[in-house]
Amino acid sequence: MTGSLAGEPGRRTIVAAFGGNAITRANELGTNAEQLANVRVMCEEVLPLIAAGHRLVIIHGNGPQVGALALQAEAGRALGVADQPFDVLGAMTQGQIGYLIQQTLGDLLMQARAELPASLLDASGAPPAVASVVTQVLVDPNDAAFQNPTKPIGPFYDREVAEKLAAEKGWTVVRDADRGWRRVVPSPQPIEVIEARAIRALIGTGTIVIAGGGGGIPVVRGPDGHLSGVEAVIDKDLAAERLAALVDADTLMLLTGVRRVALDFGTPSQRDVAVMTLAEARRYLDEGQFPPGSMGPKIRAAVRFIEDGGREAIVTAPEALADALLGNDGTRIVPATS
């Protein structure tokens, strides 16, 4: 990392990745009012970071929203409404959620501008701008994930309907516990964030950027250099790491449902970890401390970020975000202890 965006003492460039339940909670219908209320909570959690002068990129989940669009498409099929490919659904939800965040955070910043440092205000006294970027993420068409789709998406079907859709559309469908049958798509590794240069330029102007929603829209590059979307889902935390590395972020914050990472989770010897070195994180992953379906992707993303030259990765709950950045909460993954 060159550090050119993070050269001012005490001022960091932070990429903060929120989990999918930050916008729609598990017990909610996903109404616009519910999503707005949740977005406001999320924006209030990042406000102290902005007020402290840090540059910020926000990444959000979109699983519930994509699922809702898939259900709407399913219901609309009887009315002759055409299906949209999964990459287009991803783009639609990036715009939807980005709009809610940028409007809410912009309003909060306007309300708080009297308390913001003068250095954050422009000549007219306006607070930092907030902008959403519809983000494409390059993947390898030869990624092994394309031969083994594993990521469930969309609604549940009974077996007959699932098999009919699989035959008609070329889908891969699997039985999902006792809830029915579901489509699964590949989850390839992120290689490049197509809009990274534009996002970096926005960060440099002091703009708060919302990008990489849902892990980004997966695209492949053809022999002629043209991009095209693919039916896949990129892990959001790994995409956040790739973007953080490409924009020379100092800190990657991976937000989840717990304040600290635990070792020996669910056993009598369970214990929280405040600081984890890169070597320790690698060892714990090898030992199976962090399963793929829970904390594994976050720790892998943290390891990659440090390997790519990042200053620190932090895993914590959204409500502990500001304290964790100060070192008073959360789990910090660092190159080595001093």
Q: With beta carbons less than 8 A apart as the criterion, state whether 162 and 181 touch.
A: yes
Tokens representing 290?
């962090």
Rounded Cα gap, residues 263 and 286, in angstroms: 13
Query: Is 298 an active-site residue?
Result: yes
Catalytic position from the list 151, 180, 229, 296:
151
Beta strand pairing status for 312-316 and 227-229?
unpaired
**Could you say which of 38, 98, 236, 330 is catalytic?**
236
Q: Round to whole Å and give the CA distance between 60 and 105.
A: 14
Out of 21, 180, 229, 309, the active site residue is 21
Distance CA(195)–CA(211), nearest Å, equals: 9
* Residue 164 known to be catalytic: no
Give the dihedral sign, CA 67/70/75/81.
positive
In the set 20, 53, 180, 309, the catalytic residue is 20
Is 236 known to be catalytic?
A: yes
User: 């965006």: which residue's tokens?
Assistant: 5
The residue annotated as part of the active site, out of 67, 298, 310, 330, is: 298
Alpha helices in the chain (DSSP H): 32-51, 63-76, 86-112, 159-169, 196-204, 236-246, 278-286, 296-307, 321-325
Count of other CB atoms within 10 angstroms of residue 51: 16
Please give the positions annotated as active site. Answer: 20-21, 151, 236, 298
